[in-house]
A and B are shown apart, each in its own frame.
Chain A
Amino acid sequence: MLSKKQLFSRGMLDIAPHMLSVIPFGIICGAIGVDLGFNPYLVYAMSIIIFGGASQIVFLQLLSGGASSLVAVTSVGVINSRHLLYGAVLSEYLEKLSFIKKLLISYVVVDQGFAESNKFFKKNKTEQYLHYHLLGTGITMWVCWQIATLAGIILGSFVPEELGLKFAIPLTFIAIVVQDLKKLDHVIVMLVCGISSLLFFEAPFKSYILISPVIALFVAALLLRLKK
């Protein structure tokens, strides 16, 4: 049985490699916000209030492009709706927590943290304080995101644009799913999701990010039926 501290550090350790892409991305996000002409305090406040990478950039880009607040807010909601799926998966492991603790831990659920903690949970179902792993991944992400966006806001885009560091974001997610390429059913689900995301990319409110997982999960359900 691992202690709370051990689980927390394990979470920090598991998420740490992803900072290679999260930190440059955070700097870019902060810098873009200021470049678009928004109040620096406002740009930074988003990192605390929304705390959701790409959705923060989309929000500011939409507003500066003349979209209404309603469109911008709806888009953020749609982009971040993927967390509903993460929550449904994580709920199994967080069941024993009190209501208040569930409310608090929810704030730090992010893509990479969910992915790494979920992998750990699947292998260590019997641990008593599993949620400390999620706290470890989530809080590490939070702290790095705050520092990175702040750095981008204050120092501007000191990361040269020619380096194309935005490309690190898809790479981070490739690292997360790459081991599942061993399983044919997962490969099919990934391709369905990926191709759908390209087909529906122009759908309103960035809803491709919600439509493609729904289609992919539907295909997953069909595959499960076929396997029986």
Chain B
Amino acid sequence: MTWLSITIAGILTYFTRMTMIVLVRRDLLGEKIKAVLAYVPSAVFPAIIFPAIFINDYGTYIEMNDPKIFGALVAIIVGYFSRNVIATIFSGLLSYWIIIFVFLS
């Protein structure tokens, strides 16, 4: 039963990936739609970022002094100026670790 569910979930997922690539042709999308689609990264990724920072494992909002907020802010500043993915991830993790291991322990 679980195997069947996984297979169906996999087929569904594959269809979400494949459908638009196969169906959409250039003349199908007007200039207006294309202009809106240019916002896709900005319109999708915050829906992954925000809950991962502001909602904890138990599904409740975190406190305003949570170390994840500080880590995210450091990552944003470092990322903005360094334009470097590794520096962004590392600075965020490091500042998060400093808070939880040095200040909160």
Total interface residues on B, using CB and 8 Å?
69
With both beta carbons as reference points, the residue of chain B lying nearest to A181 in the complex is identified as B80
- In the assembled complex, B100 has its CB within 8 A of some CB on chain A: yes
Inter-chain contacts of B35 with A (CB < 8 A): 224
A87-B75 CB under 8 A given contacts A73-B12, A171-B92: no
* Residue pair A91, B25 in contact (C-beta under 8 Å): yes
Query: Which residues in B have some Cβ–Cβ distance to A below 8 Å?
Result: 1-10, 12-14, 16-26, 29, 32, 34-55, 59, 61, 68, 71-72, 75-76, 79-80, 83-86, 88-90, 92-93, 96-97, 100
Task: Report the Cα distance A213→B85, complex, angstroms.
Answer: 23
Inter-chain contacts of A49 with B (CB < 8 A): 6-7, 9-10
* Residue pair B21, A109 in contact (C-beta under 8 Å): yes
- In the assembled complex, A201 has its CB within 8 A of some CB on chain B: yes
- In the assembled complex, A195 has its CB within 8 A of some CB on chain B: yes
A171-B26 CB under 8 A given contacts A106-B21, A189-B42, A193-B46: no
Task: Report the Cα distance A38→B24, complex, angstroms.
Answer: 39
A167-B93 CB under 8 A given contacts A50-B10, A99-B22, A198-B51: yes
* Residue pair B80, A46 in contact (C-beta under 8 Å): no
Inter-chain contacts of A221 with B (CB < 8 A): 32, 36
* Residue pair A198, B54 in contact (C-beta under 8 Å): yes
* Residue pair B79, A45 in contact (C-beta under 8 Å): no
- In the assembled complex, A34 has its CB within 8 A of some CB on chain B: no
* Residue pair B47, A208 in contact (C-beta under 8 Å): yes
Task: Report the Cα distance A50→B8, complex, angstroms.
Answer: 9
Q: Mark A60-98, 1 if CB is under 8 A from B, else 0.
A: 000100000100110011001111111111111011000
* Residue pair A216, B42 in contact (C-beta under 8 Å): yes
A102-B2 CB under 8 A given contacts A167-B92, A170-B72, A193-B46: no
Query: Which residues in A have some Cβ–Cβ distance to B below 8 Å?
Result: 17-18, 20-21, 38, 42, 45-46, 49-52, 54-55, 59, 63, 69, 72-73, 76-77, 80-92, 94-95, 99, 102-103, 105-107, 109, 111, 115, 118, 162-181, 185-186, 189-198, 201-202, 208-209, 212-213, 216-217, 220-221, 224
* Residue pair A87, B18 in contact (C-beta under 8 Å): yes
Task: Report the Cα distance A41→B21, complex, angstroms.
Answer: 31
> What distance in Å separates the Cβ of B23 from its nearest Cβ neighbour in chain A?
8
Q: Which 8 residue pairs spanning A and B have beta carbons closest together?
A: A87-B20, A49-B10, A17-B85, A216-B43, A194-B46, A106-B18, A194-B50, A91-B24
A87-B43 CB under 8 A given contacts A46-B6, A174-B92: no
Q: Please, could you name 13 A-B residue pairs with CB atoms under 8 Å apart, sorted by A?
A: A49-B6, A50-B10, A63-B5, A84-B19, A86-B20, A95-B26, A105-B21, A167-B92, A174-B92, A177-B45, A197-B50, A198-B50, A198-B61
> What distance in Å separates the Cβ of B8 from its nearest Cβ neighbour in chain A?
5
